[in-house]
Amino acid sequence: MHIAFFLLLGASLARFLTRHPGEPRTPWIIALSLALALLYVLGPALGFRTHAERRPNARRLLWLGAVVATWVVLVLLAPSFAWCAVPLFYTGLQTLPAGAASLLVGLLTAFVVAAQLRLSTGFDPNLLLAPPAVAALATAVFIHMERQAERQRALIDDLLRTRRELAATERREGTLAERQRLSMEIHDTLAQGLSSQQMLLQAADRVWDFDAATARGHVRTATEITARNLAEARRFVHDLAPADLADGASLSQALRELAARTDESGLGGESGVGRSGVGGGPATRGPAVRFHQDGTPAPLPDRVQSALLRIAQGALANVREHAAATTVTLTLSYLGDQIVLDIADDGRGFTPPPAPYTPVSPAASGRERGHGLPAMYARMRQLGGTLTIESAPGEGTVLSAAVPLENAP
């Protein structure tokens, strides 16, 4: 519209100068043309009405009145400037509310018709019909553009609002995911290690006066567990693999070392440290832990190895605290399209809760327990795997974690 206005203004001035050279009104025509051009240029600097505003401000009204008045004087002096009204239609529609703008367009159109009739040497129906048609077309196009722009603004607002909500949701989900990761890592490493240290130190305190060698053995074992838990804490804070999988160790090696360490460290075997095991209640000695491997080993994604190792650690902790078992067997099976870890014990067994194994609240249970199975279930769900528990009171427990390798991250 700006380009069209200046083209029409320039063409009208050129037409007047070529057809009326040397007339006394020429300086006025030139001065008014320059004044109209300057006023038109100043319009954007005053700020156009936004879609949210329903009333124009005083500066815009004053500016629009000066533009229209200058144009009216020009048309009175030289009717050929009448067609500059077309861009002014859009200026009025953009500046004024719909009703006032329509009235201004009607007045400008009537003025254009009168100017064209002055130039005509005879009656021409086009002079009466063309200006209203052009004005109606310009108004219709502008109204259509405004409606489309309003729809676009609404869509953009919805999009921005949706993006903000999505970003907030992603931040919340990221926070919850990291909180869940830390919760599972703490439960499977630090919490279990601290529990073992507590029992070892309590056992050392009970036998210190009459069996110093055994007591010192318990303290050394607790110190080793402390060092391992410290290493685990540093690694899971940085979201690294478990310490047992560091330096390129395979899952089979890590599980074998876990079984041997658990069996020898006083968490199993004939250590003399009190145990409580999946159904609750004290036991006099911890279980013997064994590891078996079936199938041909295959490379596994790091996340699968970490998750299965953590599940094994958590399951052994559950057996130690709840099952009163004498034997635990870890079996890692490579089945081609999936990897399966089974942890079987001959303990007192229990009635498995339904998945997803919601944690038991301290208020309901009287103790802070019940996070092991939910953590295992969450790990399997993240990998697209399954976690199943087969158990019954008095018949032991088999926990099975299976991960399809084609779906593993």
Query: Does residue 308 sit in the same domain as residue 383?
Result: yes
Structure tokens at 60: 């815009």
Query: Does residue 67 sit in the same domain as residue 196?
Result: no
C-alpha triplet 400, 401, 402: angle, nearest 5°: 115
Query: Does residue 93 sit in the same domain as residue 234?
Result: no
CATH at 204: 3.30.565.10
3-state secondary structure of 265: coil
Indicate whether 41 belongs to any domain.
Answer: yes
Please tell me the predicted confidence (pLDDT) of residue 55. 59
Query: Does residue 238 sit in the same domain as residue 322?
Result: yes
Looking at residue 210, the DSSP 8-state letter turns out to be: T
Query: Does residue 103 sit in the same domain as residue 194?
Result: no
Please tell me the predicted confidence (pLDDT) of residue 192. 73
Query: Does residue 183 sit in the same domain as residue 311?
Result: yes
* pLDDT < 70: residue spans in the chain: 44-56, 119-124, 127, 178, 181, 185, 188, 235-243, 246-247, 264-285, 356-371, 407-409
Choose the final residue of a domain: 69, 92, 123: 123
Structure tokens at 118: 């002055």
Please tell me the predicted confidence (pLDDT) of residue 63. 83
CB-based contact 402:383 (threshold 8 Å): no
Choose the final residue of a domain: 123, 157, 183: 123
Query: Does residue 189 sit in the same domain as residue 287?
Result: yes
Indicate whether 153 belongs to any domain.
Answer: no
Indicate whether 160 belongs to any domain.
Answer: no
3-state secondary structure of 7: helix
Query: Does residue 93 sit in the same domain as residue 225?
Result: no
Indicate whether 142 belongs to any domain.
Answer: no
Please tell me the predicted confidence (pLDDT) of residue 368. 46
Query: Does residue 108 sit in the same domain as residue 233?
Result: no
Query: Does residue 85 sit in the same domain as residue 191?
Result: no
Indicate whether 298 belongs to any domain.
Answer: yes
CB-based contact 382:315 (threshold 8 Å): no
Indicate whether 131 belongs to any domain.
Answer: no
Count structural domains, the chain.
Answer: 2
Q: How far is CA 347 from CA 19, 165, 286, in A?
A: 113, 50, 11
Domain extent for 37? 2-123
Indicate whether 161 belongs to any domain.
Answer: no
pTM, whole model, 2 decimals?
Answer: 0.48
Please tell me the predicted confidence (pLDDT) of residue 405. 84
Please tell me the predicted confidence (pLDDT) of residue 156. 93
Indicate whether 75 belongs to any domain.
Answer: yes
Choose the final residue of a domain: 97, 123, 149: 123
